[in-house]
Structure 1
Amino acid sequence: MATALKNLSEYTKNKTIDISNKTFAVVVSEYNPEITEALYEGVTETLLKEGAKAENIFREDVPGAYELTLGAQFMAQRDEVDAVICLGCVIQGETKHFDFICDAVAQGVTNVSLKYNKPVIFGLLTPNTQQQALDRAGGKHGNKGVEAAVAAIKMIGFNQ
């Protein structure tokens, strides 16, 4: 569903699980920090609201979106980590760089998830403009970070 038709901060609980003993690694791109910090806030607020303990939420920063996949792999290989949430923002520019980065991150996140058999969540915004990014990082379309946290919780519960 297009973001324009759905608020990213709204969700339903169709399977309630106890996440008080679950550990979440959040890998955050340092590029576009105005956006990624807002996404991170959405993740942490949602995880805490849903019962995660603050001491069970670990943040690691990486230089850019491309590095999210290796950062996710470093976190996913830790036995104590139940889910990894990757947060970043790549705004469309004038070159094909956007396409290569977004495709590499999407494939990389999927590969890490399959390799470690645990949720690795794709929280990468891929907007055309800065304003579209702001709209999806706590603006008029909600916060993709909330959606990413909920996806992590639901995927942890999926296999229980």
Structure 2
Amino acid sequence: MSLDAPTLDGTVDATGLRIGIVAARFNEDITNALTDGAIEALKKHGASNENITVVRVAGALEIGTIAQRMAKAHVYDVIVCLGCVIRGGTAHFDYVCQGAMDAINHIAERGDIGVGNGVLTVDTLEQAQARTGGTHGHKGAEAALTAVEVAQALKNLEPMVEQA
């Protein structure tokens, strides 16, 4: 596709980016797999250990509190949110999922930081496992690389915004 207007793309180059990962402990086997996959993907795309900070929180609902604080600090270029909520027999699932998603979306709406949403909202453990390197890919890695791409697109956009 060719356009006469400037076209900016983000890249998945994590070199030099300061990355914050907020990961829930609840459903720890899944969230550990999400975190490991995110870190592995980030390193494959140029991130270094010293530029990655992982903060563990109790559950998905707490992710937004820490991610918001990280964003307000203006220390990170990227924030990756990782968790797993498995449907149970009560409405608690709906409230936790909605709260987590609203908080993560609120940070993304700021428009100044790359945000990756890797909070799984699934009906079964098997569905979660399928999303941590199984038949549905690796959502931790995908969230991390998406956040990097957004951060790079924001950097590429900055000179145009400053001129306006």
**Which residue identity is paired with 2:91?**
K
3-state secondary structure, aligned to 1:126: strand
3-state secondary structure, aligned to 1:88: strand
The answer to whether the 8 Å contact 1:77/1:116 transfers is: no
Give the percent of matched residue pairs that are identical in Structure 1 and Structure 2: 38
The answer to whether the 8 Å contact 1:76/1:116 transfers is: no
**Which residue identity is paired with 2:39?**
T
Matches of 2:18 and 2:57 in 1, distance apart? 19
Q: Structure 2: where are the runs of 5+ without partners?
A: 1-8, 157-164
Counterpart for residue 42 of structure 2: 47
Matches of 1:15 and 1:74 in 2, distance apart? 25
Q: Structure 1: where are the runs of 5+ without partners?
A: 1-13
Counterpart for residue 138 of structure 1: 133
TM-score using structure 1 length: 0.86
The answer to whether the 8 Å contact 1:90/1:127 transfers is: yes
Matched, 1:22 2:6: no
After TM superposition, give the deviation of residue 137 of structure 1 in Å.
Answer: 1.1
Matched, 1:58 2:53: yes
Counterpart for residue 162 of structure 2: none
After TM superposition, give the deviation of residue 140 of structure 1 in Å.
Answer: 2.2
| Greater C-alpha radius of gyration | 2
After TM superposition, give the deviation of residue 75 of structure 1 in Å.
Answer: 1.3
After TM superposition, give the deviation of residue 116 of structure 1 in Å.
Answer: 6.7
